[in-house]
């Protein structure tokens, strides 16, 4: 790994940016040199908390021109992800891209083209794959013949105070969706990553129930994903629960093992499996987990050594295509012929 820290910048200084700034400044692999937000007071608050020498900008392209970062963390509203990431890649700047990887299939395709044409690295922030408990789950699945079925339940709370806090949340054109693309996408990605076979179909529905008065996007969703080897995922998500509960997910393996994660604890056939403690401080809500610190460190290690990032755009694209198919489904089976 290079002994010279990379010059890092963050675009978008909202809630999730604290996890990024904390991870960047905690290590020796990067120096946070610039922060950008359309509301300068948010960038200034992040600067004062984590990087007092960082320059503050309100124009992200000017930030790229002036600060000349070598790595950029895109933490903006969803509709800006693809444009900003593609521009950074065209300039040879490494990108740590918050989820989602685009709001539409067209934006995802543009990201894939931009990455293929760039010498820079891009990783998508599906950071929960890198948590010790989930890495152990993947090991147990492999040790027990591979995944044949999985299920998950994600029940959080998002009400009027959430949807009115910013002008993009709950707006379909900006957020791209609701409970699935924003809150439940990490757990969906965890399960999709457990199946090496390509997904072949998606069937599901979304609904807008409790938040219909002030939101345009779904607050509930259910879906069934089928893979080429017969594997299946059953998935339910809701933003109408009374609080942010820890996610519940389970994988049945081909040799009959049942691997379950509940309240952050791992079980195999009902017996507790001990997992190493995550070597990172918690930043943000407990239901987010602490995977950012691990994933961001690994991103900079890959950028410095020229190796592949742990969460590639190619692997993230599988999850995104399933998500986009759900939004087209409306109860009908959607065939994933492009996999």
Q: Virtual CA dihedral for 78, 239, 284, 28, nearest 10 degrees?
A: -40
As a whole number, mean pLDDT of residues 131-151 equals 96
**Contact by Cβ (8 Å): 66, 55:** yes
Question: Per-residue pLDDT for 339 more than 50?
Answer: no
- Residue 291 banded pLDDT, cuts 50, 70, 90: confident
Least confident of 7-11, 33-37, 145-149, 287-291: 287-291
Question: 211-254 pLDDT, tens per residue?
Answer: 999 999 999 999 999 999 999 999 999 999 999 999 999 999 99
- CA dist., res. 12 & res. 210, Å (int): 29
Residues 6+ apart with CB under 8 A from 48: none
Question: Per-residue pLDDT for 284 more than 60?
Answer: no
Question: 23-56 pLDDT, tens per residue?
Answer: 999 989 999 999 999 999 999 999 999 999 999 9
Looking at residue 279, what is its pLDDT?
A: 54
- Residue 290 banded pLDDT, cuts 50, 70, 90: low
Domains of the chain listed by start with CATH number: 6-127 (3.40.50.720), 131-273+313-335 (3.30.360.10)
**Contact by Cβ (8 Å): 10, 32:** yes
Question: Per-residue pLDDT for 280 more than 90?
Answer: no
pTM: 0.94
119: exposed, middle or buried (Cβ count in 10 Å: 0-12, 13-18, 19+)? exposed
Looking at residue 338, what is its pLDDT?
A: 56
Question: Per-residue pLDDT for 1 more than 50?
Answer: no
- Residue 300 banded pLDDT, cuts 50, 70, 90: very high
Question: 76-91 pLDDT, tens per residue?
Answer: 999 999 999 999 999 9
């Amino acid at each position: 790994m290079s002994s010279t820290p990379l010059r890092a910048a963050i675009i978008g200084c909202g809630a999730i940016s604290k996890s990024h700034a904390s991870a960047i400044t905690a290590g020796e692999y990067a120096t946070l040199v610039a922060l950008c937000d359309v509301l300068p007071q948010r960038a200034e608050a992040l600067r004062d908390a984590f990087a007092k020498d960082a320059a503050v900008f309100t124009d992200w392209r000017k930030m790229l021109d002036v600060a000349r970062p070598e790595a950029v963390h895109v933490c903006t509203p969803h509709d800006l992800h693809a444009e900003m990431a593609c521009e950074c890649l065209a300039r040879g700047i490494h990108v740590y891209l918050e989820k989602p990887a685009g709001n539409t299939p067209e934006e995802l395709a543009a990201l894939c083209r931009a990455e293929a044409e760039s010498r820079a690295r891009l990783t998508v922030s599906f950071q929960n794959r890198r948590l010790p408990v989930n890495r152990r789950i993947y090991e147990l699945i492999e040790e027990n013949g591979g995944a044949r079925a999985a299920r998950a339940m994600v029940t959080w709370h998002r009400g009027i105070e959430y949807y009115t806090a910013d002008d993009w949340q709950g707006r379909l054109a900006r957020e791209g969706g609701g409970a699935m693309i924003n809150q439940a996408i990490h757990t969906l990605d965890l399960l999709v990553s457990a199946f090496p076979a390509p997904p072949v179909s998606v069937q599901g529905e979304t609904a807008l129930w409790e938040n219909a008065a002030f939101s345009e996007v779904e607050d509930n969703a259910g879906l069934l994903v089928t893979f080429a080897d017969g594997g299946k995922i059953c998935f339910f998500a809701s933003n109408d629960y009374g609080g942010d509960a820890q996610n519940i997910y389970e994988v049945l393996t081909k040799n009959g093992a049942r691997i379950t994660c509940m309240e952050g604890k791992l079980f195999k056939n009902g017996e507790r499996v001990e997992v190493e403690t995550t070597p990172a401080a918690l930043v943000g809500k407990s239901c987010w987990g602490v995977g950012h610190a691990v994933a961001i460190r690994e991103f900079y290690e890959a950028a410095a050594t020229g190796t592949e990032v742990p969460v590639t755009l190619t692997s993230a694209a599988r999850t995104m295509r399933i998500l986009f198919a759900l939004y087209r489904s409306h109860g009908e089976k959607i065939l994933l012929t492009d996999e």
